[in-house]
A and B are shown apart, each in its own frame.
Chain A
Amino acid sequence: MNIARTFIFAGLLLGLIAAGPAASEFSPFGYAEVYIDAGPAGLAAYQVEITAADPAAQIVSIEGGEHPAFNPAPYYDPAARDHNRIIIAAFSIADVLPHGRTRVARIHVYDDKQSPGKLHYTIRLMAAGDANAQRIDATASIQPGEQP
């Protein structure tokens, strides 16, 4: 009898331990990575509008991209911070520009209701340009993540 009780207790304890991390999985902090695919043309400038699906989400900070040409943080409106919608833009006069798909920025998001890493984001490409400041065809995409 004691042995059975011990097994039941141990099983409950293990169950609680296993369930523990699941309960603490929620994090109000997350991020989303912004990509531009300019194809064979070198990307020299971009401007995108990003909206988090949850109106309560707050974009708290923005950092630059992976390519040296877009390492510095992009331009954005500080008034848009702490809201769920923002426009970011950057250009580079560097000689070496990224081709193809490249991560141009990362936005950090806070949402105490839904995990920002699981939020749905929409992105709209407003402008993309090549080294001659001519408009080019490009596509923008955004990929959420958690706790970078």
Chain B
Amino acid sequence: MSQRDDDLPDDLQNDLSALYRQAVPGDARRDQQILHQSLMRLRWGHRRRWLLGAGGAMAAAAAVVLIVLLHKPPMAATPQFALFALGNPPPQGQVDILTAFRLSKALKLGQHPSPAWDRIGDGVIDQRDVDAWAKLAVRIDAGATP
């Protein structure tokens, strides 16, 4: 017949425990290691949760971008854009209104004309150059037969 310790009075239990208790030599280094490992596990847990959250968000964003790209209509590549190539300006004697018109179209389409189109020579190719080419075209001594 066995009798459970729980059935003993508390005082008796304490006395018996004190009688048989042995001093266990402490190992501070080992305690530190255990504590360090516990902390590391705790931190890794936090980091892993953060990585999982961030990774999930990034994956969701990538999926959204992919869906948008797949369902986006093709860029408005108008035939004008596809067919239009500016090239270089013609020699002065062959300049006409189409020269200025081509430059104007190129600028409208966002192209970057070569520096040869910089008619006024200010380093920027813009509407003023378009006007300058047009004015050259209509110059009364520019190629017109009297």
Contacts and interface: CB of A to CB of B under 8 A. Distances in A.
Report if A and B associate in a common complex. Answer: yes
B31 to A, nearest CB: 82
Interface in A102-135: 124, 126-127, 129, 131-133, 135
B98 A135 contact: yes
B88 to A, nearest CB: 14
Contact of B97 (A47, A77, A93): A47
Contact of B105 (A80, A87, A93): A93
Which secondary structure dominates where chain B touches chain A? helix
A86 interface: yes
Contacts of A93: 101, 104-105, 108
Nearest to B83: A132
A86 B102 CA distance: 23
B96 interface: yes
A61 B61 CA distance: 63
Contacts of A85: 140, 144, 146
Interface in A132-146: 132-133, 135
A33 to B, nearest CB: 19
A54 interface: no
A50 B58 CA distance: 68
B144 A87 contact: yes
A35 interface: no
A83 B135 CA distance: 17
Given A93-B104, A93-B105, A75 B80 contact: no
Nearest to A129: B98
B96 to A, nearest CB: 4
Given A93-B104, A126-B96, A132 B140 contact: no
Contacts of B97: 45-47, 75, 89-91, 126-127, 129
Contacts of B125: none
A44 B101 contact: yes
Interface string A1-25: 0000000000000000000000000
A126 B96 CA distance: 8
A76 B80 contact: no
B130 to A, nearest CB: 9
A123 B126 CA distance: 32
B137 A131 contact: no
B137 A47 contact: yes
A89 B142 CA distance: 13
A132 B84 contact: yes
A132 B134 contact: no
Given A77-B135, A93-B108, A132-B84, A127 B98 contact: yes
8 contacts: A44-B101, A46-B97, A77-B138, A79-B140, A89-B97, A93-B104, A126-B97, A133-B102
